[in-house]
Structure 1
Amino acid sequence: MTDRLSAARATRRWRKTARQGLLEKSHDGVLSRRELAHLGWDSHAIDREVEAGRWRCPGRLTVALHTAPLSFEAECWRAVFEVGEGIALVDGVTSLQVAGLKHFEEPFIHVSVPHTAKVPDVGGVVIHKIRHRHDFERWSRSGLPRTVPPVAAIRAAHWAVSERQAATVLMMGGQQRLYSPAWLAETRIVIRGRNRRKFIDDIIRAVEDGIQALGEFDITELCRRRGLPPPTHQIQRRGPNGRIYLDIGWEDIGLFLEIDGAGHTWGVNTSHDHLRANAVTLQKGTVLRMDIIGVRLMGEEFMDQVCAAHALLTARRKGAVA
């Protein structure tokens, strides 16, 4: 009897130690049944832990080594396990979020699989079938199976619910330095997608030209329609405390446009904007201000002012040269 009790205690101690070791090997608290089997935990051992209330199974092939809600990273691993290890890659906006994309909300986990793959539907996961899986598109470092950022961004744009969302995700990835404009453009040569091809090509060219926000893209398109020369983006000037950057403008005539997003009204941002505009004025430049909502709703009225200012300053420059 004593021997049996000692053996039972030893077994419990071993299991406790083994569970702690599993946590260190897990993917933020989750492992696949295949991985657990490789580590010596068969289905009966897993069932014992689940029945004891220590573990839970958030999927047919996924085991959580706890009973709390899964983290974002763990949800991504669950998606890979359930859709198919070796087949599925976390892709689209989800891959960008793993890479560090901030301030973009998406309730689902997006994964891609080859179009010939037969995979099950998985709750909370959007499965995209792609025609080609290229060697370069997989993030080569160890960890979560996912696509590299420019591939993820282009596919996210094709899978977006609207052109506005497509443009937003492409520009946000560039703004947050997840990829360079050159890397994005190079990737676009191969990753083409099936829908809104021309629109995405236009956005990528805009990113290459230095456009960093949708407001800049909108106003640049309006300038093109009005026949104005292409403006320069992210213009560097000297301010009271060092370098300042203006959204777009024409340096040759001293006309600059500032497009204010929602963030411009937060805290002291408005004061900083005023200081920046005043610094340009002191250097004999002209700054026209507009907000992103205004550009969308009253773009033509704003463009009337831009065209008038451009014509006036162009005439002044020609007069000064003459």
Structure 2
Amino acid sequence: MGATTPAARRAMVAHELGDLHEGVVRRDQLYALGLTYDQVLAELRAGRWHRLGRRTISLGGPTVTGRARWWVAVWETGSGAVLDGVSSLLAAGLTGWEETVVHVSVGRGTRVRAVDGVRVHRHRQLGRVLPTGLPRTAPEIAVLRAARWAVSDRQALTLLAMTVQQRLVHPGRLLEAWSATRRHTRRRLLDEAIPLVCDGAQALGEVDFARACRRRGLPEPSRQVLRRTPDGLCYLDVWFDDYAVHVEVNGAQHYTGLTPVADARRRNHRALDDDLTIEIPVLGLLVDEADFLDQVEEALRRRGWQGRTT
């Protein structure tokens, strides 16, 4: 290695290591590849490479983004560090979400170093960790921790629903992981939400909606009413017979694939038949029940309902 030119060394490092880790490498990887301390130092002093911490070197510019930032986080935080929570889900392919902080987990007792933009979480057990690629917790572990660290119930449920909808976690694994979870700051919320997002238990949402109507003093609706449309027979989730008000309680499966298209077509058919349709995501009953019931009540009043029952 010592006889090669600096340019040849840089090309070799970029090929052997840089492509694996988005343009960042660890010092020990460079030494294992055959570079000497002086050769690495020469590249740093020349400004061609940049030191990002005690262990990490950038083969490009002095700042990194994206997946390179995740590599820096796990390498610099401490031994055995792994991406966790939202960061693990983003590394797994979660789309439609932005997070400025990198969440990293370590075992209790691990000596850690502070890294800008990195939040460290300590655990007695890390749970299932994926063995290849970026060190990260498995999605079923990551999403439960993401829900715990979320700033609000709404954010927790959004992350949960998105993870399942984008098929980053198998529902069976998530249910199994939740049943094994002993402590969680959002235990009651997730006890209700996880079965709903895992199996799209729309019927459970309809039952919850009927109970909410009774608490609110709204008329008693019918459920799963059969109707004929140009596309054939279909079932309406909730139907207020005397007022032509239709409520759709949509589970997670209604927001994947072509399902929204079919749902929209069905709603349009009902609108053309002079029905008034209100759509409620099933998780909405957990976080925004009052607002959605306000909308249902307004729809009923517009169709002639005179007031709450006793």
Q: Which has the higher helix share?
A: 1
Paired letter, 2:192: D
Report the equivalent of 1:164.
154
Give the Å deviation of 1:78: 0.4
Deviations 1:170-203 (A, max 9, x none): 0110111112322211111223444122212221
Secondary structure in 1 aligned to 2:91? Answer: helix
Residues 255 and 138 (structure 1 numbering): CA distance in 2 closer, same or farther, change over 3 Å? farther
Paired letter, 2:78: G
Contact 1:158-1:193 at 8 Å conserved across structures:
no
Residues 245 and 98 (structure 1 numbering): CA distance in 2 closer, same or farther, change over 3 Å? farther
Report the equivalent of 1:249.
237
Structure 2 stretches lacking a partner, 5+ long: 215-219, 251-259, 306-310
Contact 1:258-1:287 at 8 Å conserved across structures:
no
Contact 2:52-2:62 at 8 Å conserved across structures:
no
Report the equivalent of 2:187.
197
Report the equivalent of 1:83.
77
Contact 1:256-1:286 at 8 Å conserved across structures:
yes
Deviations 1:14-55 (A, max 9, x none): 424433434455401011112222112343322211111211
- The CA distance in 1 between the partners of 2:69 and 2:226, in whole Å, is 43
Give the Å deviation of 1:150: 1.2
Report the equivalent of 1:289.
278
Paired letter, 1:90: L
Paired letter, 2:153: E
Paired letter, 1:165: Q
Contact 1:62-1:82 at 8 Å conserved across structures:
yes
Structure 1 position 145 matched with structure 2 position 139:
no
Structure 1 position 125 matched with structure 2 position 109:
no
Give the Å deviation of 1:144: 0.6
- The CA distance in 2 between the partners of 1:12 and 1:78, in whole Å, is 25
RMSD: 4.3
- The CA distance in 1 between the partners of 2:228 and 2:21, in whole Å, is 48
Structure 1 stretches lacking a partner, 5+ long: 1-7, 261-269, 313-322
Deviations 1:71-93 (A, max 9, x none): 311111101100124x1111101
| Identity fraction in percent | 33
Contact 1:55-1:64 at 8 Å conserved across structures:
yes
Q: Map residues 311-322 of structure 1 onto 2, 5 A cutoff.
A: none
Secondary structure in 1 aligned to 2:146? Answer: helix
Secondary structure in 2 aligned to 1:126? Answer: strand
- The CA distance in 1 between the partners of 2:136 and 2:293, in whole Å, is 43
Normalising by structure 1, we get a TM-score of: 0.71
Residues 304 and 21 (structure 1 numbering): CA distance in 2 closer, same or farther, change over 3 Å? closer
- The CA distance in 1 between the partners of 2:108 and 2:227, in whole Å, is 50
